[in-house]
Amino acid sequence: MKMVYAIVRDEDGNRVMSKLNKCGFSVTKLATTGGFLRSGNTTLISGVEDDKVDEAISVIKKECETRKQVVVTSSPMVGIGNYTSIPVTVDVGGATIFVMDIEKFEKI
């Protein structure tokens, strides 16, 4: 058995969880915060049989497409001491997935 951790954007979390459930995967959902954009993420945790890991990852990939987003950063203006806002386009979405071996599993 494997433990699959998938960190996805909040916007994708409910859709991914629903699709995983429809495919027979039990999922636990945690609210988390990303470090780069400091925006909300959803971490999905699922115990998956070894032969079903690729299927679970495939569902996550299909539901978490990467897209562009404009974010505004603050940059100091040289010699003025003020900050100016600079729009920057970054890729968001997708998923970060970890798969770990589970030594023992019990459902009570």
Q: What predicted TM-score, i.e. pTM, was given to this entire model?
A: 0.74
Mean pLDDT of 70-95: 71
Mean pLDDT of 64-74: 78
The string of DSSP codes covering 74-97 is EEEPTTT--EEEEEEEEEEE-EEE
pLDDT in tens, 26-42: 999 998 887 665 667 89
Flag whether pLDDT at 66 surpasses 90: no
Would you kindly state where each structural domain of the chain is located, as residue ranges? 2-101
Flag whether pLDDT at 70 surpasses 90: no
2-101 has CATH 3.90.1150.10 classification? no
